[in-house]
Amino acid sequence: MAILHLELVSFRNHNKQEFNFIPGLTVIWGENGSGKTAILEAIHVLSFGRSFRTHKYRELIKNKSSQLLVRGNFENKDTQDQVAVQMEKPSGIKLRLNGKPLSSRKELIGRNNVVVLSPEEQSVTKGAPIERRKFFDKMFSVTSREYVDTLQNYNRVLKQRNAVIQNAKDGSVPTKDIQSWDDQLISTGQKLWLLRFEFISTFKTRLSSVVNRYDNKILFELTYLKEAPTQGLYKSEITNALKKDLRLGRTTYGPHRDDISFVWDRRDLRSLGSQGEHKLSLVLLKLTEMVFIREKTGNHPTLLLDDLFAKLDLGRSKKIVSLLQGLETESGDPVQTIVTTTDLLNVEKSGLMSGEIENKTYNLKR
Ligand SMILES: Nc1ncnc2c1ncn2[C@@H]1O[C@H](COP(=O)(O)OP(=O)(O)O)[C@@H](O)[C@H]1O
Ligand SMILES: [Mg+2]
């Protein structure tokens, strides 16, 4: 997969800008605040219909203007897509694929995949369980239509059941109305659990081989359920939780509460990891995401490396670059990489440029 052209109008600090990327390596350099991360963010919006920094599209519109436009051209093995995202202040977001309006971002998801590695996503390892669920849900959604559909169905039933819990709490409907949602909740919830369990098991295996290749003395893994709960167990847990649900005003048992933890050297990473362990873990998780997506879709996603080399020492940067180049060579499927930096020298020293036949550089001015 490769993005070849990007056009921004009133996106973050960018007024009107165009970029041509090459299938190999593109380096974007400029000082802090020049809009480097914003470019990667715009590419992510075209890929996923949403930013990786915020859910509020208004934040993306350059101040004082009333609308923004992001347009990009993607090339895959046998398809070419032009994706356009337009956002207007009162009316909202409009998506177009090859000129045709789309009714939902689901139609965009999975077509032109990207993996972002940005210090702004460190919440995956440092944040609450919801951040890790989001990381996995996104990866599984772009690789499986069944997963997106199931996740969406489950969230819809959950929302409806939670609304009834609220009403039952106020006394406006009887408690048994809550239970009328249980069968649907359990059937979609269990389906989600089974899919998530299967995908996480695969991810876990791939993570272990990526970690091993990086450094076989490192112990980094994830922990999750031993197995997805059976329908019988699910049913009894939901019944047992009813009182608690009523008290808290929401459904307290189910896959929306999953806790997926990362373990570094047998210690919980989130609570006990050092800064360096957090940074390196994120890199290893994202490289595994590349491997996972490539395995499920047959294509490598475009890799968006945001300020990576500023945050890592040279030794680690070099090791990461050579791991990445190894994945490319072995699969025979090149990885388009777009990297941002404040310091070109850092990228040069990492070895990222030397592995490429061709590369392109952009300098952003504030
Ligand atoms: N909606 C917006 N309108 C105008 N400027 C914005 C908006 N959102 C962010 N900015 C500014 O855009 C600049 C670029 O941010 P960023 O992409 O993070 O730059 P970099 O990654 O190069 O440090 C920042 O100075 C930020 O304050
Ligand atoms: Mg930045």
Work out the angle between the directed axes of helices 129-143 and 182-214 (0-180°, nearest 10). Answer: 90
CA distance 112 to 80: 10
**pLDDT value of position 358:** 80
Over residues 301-318, the pLDDT tens digits come to 999 999 988 878 899 999
Query: What pLDDT sits at residue 90?
Result: 78
Residues 182, 267 share a domain: yes
Query: Has residue 132 been placed in a domain?
Result: yes
Are residues 167 and 36 part of one domain?
no
- In a 13 Å sphere around the CA of 333, the CA atoms on its Cβ side amount to 18
For residue 119, which ligand has an atom nearest its CA? 2
In the beta sheet, which residues pair with residue 264? Answer: 220, 267
The pLDDT, as a whole number, for residue 92 is 86
- Residue 72 Cα to ligand 1 midpoint, Å, equals 20
- In this structure, the answer to whether residues 154 and 143 fall within a common structural domain is yes
Give the per-residue pLDDT at 228. 94
Atom 24 of ligand 1 has which residue's CA nearest to it?
Answer: 33
- Ligand 1 contact, 37 CB (< 6 A): yes
Residue 288 within a domain: yes
pTM: 0.96
Residue 280: exposure state from Cβ atoms within 10 A (0-12, 13-18, ≥19): buried
Whether ligand 1 lies within 6 angstroms of the CB of 56 is answered as no
Q: What is the CATH number of the domain that holds 309?
A: 3.40.50.300
135-189 pLDDT, tens digit per residue, is: 999 999 999 999 999 999 999 999 999 999 999 999 999 999 999 999 999 999 9
Indicate whether 157 and 91 sit together in one domain: no
What pLDDT is attached to residue 233? 97
Q: What is the pLDDT of residue 77?
A: 84
Q: Which atom of ligand 1 is nearest to the CA of 60?
A: 1
Say if 68 falls within a structural domain: yes
Which residue among 12, 120, 344 is best mutated to probe the pocket of ligand 1, counting the most ligand atoms within 8 A of its Cβ?
12
Per-residue pLDDT, 83: 98
Q: How many domains does the chain have?
A: 2
Q: Is residue 273 assigned to a domain?
A: yes
Ligand 1 contacts CB of residue 34 (under 6 A):
yes
Q: Where is the domain boundary, 274, 298, 322?
A: 298
Parent domain of 324: 1-113+299-366
One domain for residues 137 and 275: yes
Same domain, 105 and 130: no
Gap from CA of 340 to ligand 1 centroid (Å): 14
What is the Cα 186 distance to its own chain's centre?
27
Pair (217, 346) in one structural domain: no
* Domain endpoint, select from 298, 327, 348: 298
111-132 tens-digit pLDDT? 999 999 999 999 999 999 999 9
Total count of residues recorded for the chain: 366
Position in ligand 1 atom list of the atom nearest CA 31? 22
Are residues 91 and 149 located together in one domain of the fold?
Answer: no
Residue partners of 272: CB distance under 8 A and separation at least 6: 264
- Asked whether residue 118 is assigned to any structural domain, the reply reads no
Together in a domain, 79 and 191: no
Q: Are 302 and 24 in contact (CB under 8 A)?
A: no
pLDDT at 79: 87
> Distance, CA 287 to ligand 2 centroid (Å)?
20
**Pocket lining: 279 vs ligand 1, CB cutoff 6 Å:** no
DSSP 249-300: TS--SSGGG---EEEETTEEHHHH--HHHHHHHHHHHHHHHHHHHHHHHSSP
Q: Are residues 109 and 130 in the same domain?
A: no
- Cα–Cα dist 213/287, whole Å: 11
Q: Answer yes or no: do 48 and 104 share one domain.
A: yes
The pair of structure tokens assigned to 328 is 């490319």
Residue 120 falls inside a structural domain = no
Residue ranges of the chain with per-residue pLDDT less than 70:
none
- Whether 119 maps to a domain, the answer reads no
- Find out whether the beta carbon of 33 lies less than 6 Å from any atom of ligand 1: yes
In a domain, 121, yes or no: no
Q: Measuring from atom 16 of ligand 1, which residue has the nearest CA? A: 35
pLDDT of residue 211: 98
Residues 199 and 91 in one domain: no
Residue 248's domain is classified under what CATH number?
A: 1.20.1050.90
> Final residue of a domain: which of 260, 277, 298?
298
| Nearest ligand to the C-alpha atom of residue 310 | 2
Span from the CA of 12 to the centroid of ligand 1 (angstroms) = 5
